[in-house]
Every structure is written in C-alpha cells, then in structure tokens.
Amino acid sequence: MNDSSPQRKHGGKINIPIACRHIADNLDMMSARRIGYHIDPSDLKLLPDAWCGACDKALSRAGGQWTPEILANMAFREVCPCCYDLAVPKAIVRAARA
C-alpha cells in the first residue's frame, strides 16, 4: 500500500498491521499458505500490510490502482501483531521482498 495506509500505533511501541478480510478471517499459517499472502515489497514496516491471492488478482485487474472498489472489497482491518506473526512467518515477508 502506501504511507496513507490505516496502520495505528499500539501502546506507542509497534504498528498494528492491517490485512484484507480474507487473511484477517483466517489467521493461521495453513490458511495463509492456502489463500496466498502478498505485500508491497517497498513496505518496509516490520509487519507490512497484507492481502490474499484473490485480492491481489483483483488489484492486478485494476491495473495496480488502489481504487475505492478494490479497497471496499479487500475490507482491510487491523490484526493483532501476535496473530499476524503466527499466520505470516518472517520467511514469507523476506521472500516477498526478495
């Protein structure tokens, strides 16, 4: 996403990540692998914004533009950082940035 993404500070210490509704509703490692996991490689936050394979295809069909329709379909929500870490291993984030 971009710098205007709706991340929040949690306790002043860490950013709370956001994820599309499909990832947020399936916060476990097996689901993350099944539905896919995508980040913007230029998003260097420790816990980058994430979206699933279906949302990534919709974003691609929209020419990579974060349109209001795309954002409404993705329905991004805040995700507990601990749950995010369990669902999305650091290896997946590193691979997406490679």
The tens digit of pLDDT for each residue in 17-55 reads 889 998 888 876 666 667 878 888 888 888 888 898 899
CA 33 to chain centre: 13
pTM as predicted: 0.73
Are 28 and 87 a contacting pair, CB within 8 Å? yes
The tens digit of pLDDT for each residue in 62-81 reads 999 989 999 999 999 998 88
Beta bridge partners of 18: 78
3 pLDDT band, cuts 50/70/90, is very low
What is the pLDDT, as a whole number, of residue 10? 47
Are 37 and 52 a contacting pair, CB within 8 Å? yes
